Homo-oligomer: A and B are copies of this chain.
């Protein structure tokens, strides 16, 4: 992929990632390290919970989304460096789901104080194999201008 600079981004430009699946073992492995709650660790306990079945940690979904953005989603020159984000999880991620990220540029903002850089605001929807949105991530990312 060609690396992109601030001048390459325009509001409305879209990017679609490749896909990444996850299974029950991966959901439990992530949760045991980072989100050890019964509904992320154990099918029987999860069935009795708010989620009515094993569900991935939202932070696992966020991490998978990041991996898809890095590998295929948006080739920013110098890498994807986020300053901050808003995140929502409207629907649980289940074992066997296959995730894909669709991103759209919402804003392109050159820096007033640093002429060599700017920020872009990107909305990234992570969808499962049924096309249902499981995460909405709106992130501000640092982007460099083209070297003179």
Contact = CB atoms under 8 A, between A and B. Distances in A.
Interface stretch (A32-40, A96-104, A124-132): A32-40
Contacts of A83: 88-89
A25 interface: no
Contact of A50 (B37, B67, B81): B81
Contacts of A82: 58, 89
The quantity of this chain's copies bound in the complex is 2
A126 B82 CA distance: 17
Contacts of A35: 63, 66-67, 70
A66 B39 CA distance: 15
Contacts of A30: 63
